[in-house]
Structure 1
């Protein structure tokens, strides 16, 4: 599970960042800060994988914080969530290697895309070498319609089910467990999970060792 730190001086936006992040079972928010200096001191002493970072903060801006993190070689990635959309700031932060850049106000779907981008980057560099195919997944634009939901299915819900299946144990998860993780009905979970199976993005198997009725288990393809 990826460890996330949120640095945002607006309490409402900070809560929204946290809520959106923790909807994805791959992530856990371990700290939140309203001050960039306090965040820097904490990150210098504690490991984290991702910082969700605002630009406009008093005393120590997000740009200054990210520059300090890079200068100290603190190994943490950053997703910018900010109202700063002037070209100079965007260019400066992109050159510092941010994973993604979201301009407020933003949607859950766009936030989830940023988390997916972070995961693709991390998964690509887990081994000793990175293949051209893995690099293409990072830098080449997705094919048209690759991630779009069909009529009757919500893209945000589809992304949520995808995330749960990716985080599922090797044996998979039953729809009841997915329902608890997502706060969706079992019927809804099955509809989305079965759609992902039909697309070839997930597997489903039948577990007969339940002591009662067999149940279907779902997991994402590798």
Structure 2
């Protein structure tokens, strides 16, 4: 589970954001701060993986908060959500380590894409100490299909079809060949989608060693 801190001085907006973030699979809001000072206390006392940050706030604004947080060596990821469109502010926020920047008002589908993309990044970087180039490409915006949040070359419909099959059979393990037969899709194609789902942590990969021949990769739905 990805633990989230929301920093937002408008209580109504904070509650809406909290409800939405909690509705996205794999995320849980563990605290809400109304300004940067409260947020500094929160990060010192709670496990936080991701911060949803407003910029314009009383007492300690978003940029001042980011600078203080980095000085205290808290390497927490940040998604900025703000009404500010000024280039210098955007530049500062990104240089201070924000992984995304959303301008208010925004469509909540845009925030979901940001969270889904972050989830891929989070799972990949937490999974192994050594990351391959193809995995780096999966968390680099330039290599992602921005309309779907999945790597280029993969289709959302096919991904959902394979994901739904595995969800419906949660607790059971399947080889790529078995899934291909059930889905009426080529085995080579299925393997590409399974590799993507496995890289995000959504499915588990088990290797079954037989008495003869090559081992078989088995996949099982885990969820996030």
TMscore range, shorter length: 0.5 to 0.7
Name the counterpart of 1:72.
72
Counterpart selection for 1:141 from 140, 143, 165:
143
Name the counterpart of 2:29.
29
Kindly name which structure, 1 or 2, has the bigger radius of gyration based on alpha carbons.
Answer: 2
Alignment of 1:131 onto 2:132? yes
Name the counterpart of 2:108.
108
The answer on whether the counterparts of 1:37 and 1:60 sit within 8 Å (CA) in structure 2 is: yes
State the shift of 1:75 in Å. Answer: 2.9
Q: Secondary structure at the match of 1:99?
A: strand
The answer on whether the counterparts of 1:99 and 1:117 sit within 8 Å (CA) in structure 2 is: no
Give me the CA root mean square deviation: 3.4
Tell me how far apart the structure 1 counterparts of residues 87 and 20 of structure 2 sit (CA, whole Å).
27
- After TM superposition, the structure 1 = structure 2 runs for residues 1-222 of structure 1, keeping only pairs within 5 Å, are 1-126=1-126, 127-139=128-140, 140-143=142-145, 171=171, 200=190, 201=193, 219=221
Tell me how far apart the structure 2 counterparts of residues 141 and 133 of structure 1 sit (CA, whole Å).
10
The answer on whether the counterparts of 1:81 and 1:103 sit within 8 Å (CA) in structure 2 is: yes
TM-score by length of 2: 0.66
Tell me how far apart the structure 2 counterparts of residues 128 and 76 of structure 1 sit (CA, whole Å).
18
Number of residues of Structure 1 aligned to a counterpart in Structure 2: 173
State the shift of 1:141 in Å. Answer: 3.3
Q: Secondary structure at the match of 1:44?
A: helix
Tell me how far apart the structure 2 counterparts of residues 145 and 115 of structure 1 sit (CA, whole Å).
14
- Where structure 1 has 5 or more consecutive residues not aligned to the other structure, the ranges are 151-157, 173-193, 204-217
The answer on whether the counterparts of 1:100 and 1:117 sit within 8 Å (CA) in structure 2 is: no
Name the counterpart of 1:212.
none
State the shift of 1:142 in Å. Answer: 2.4
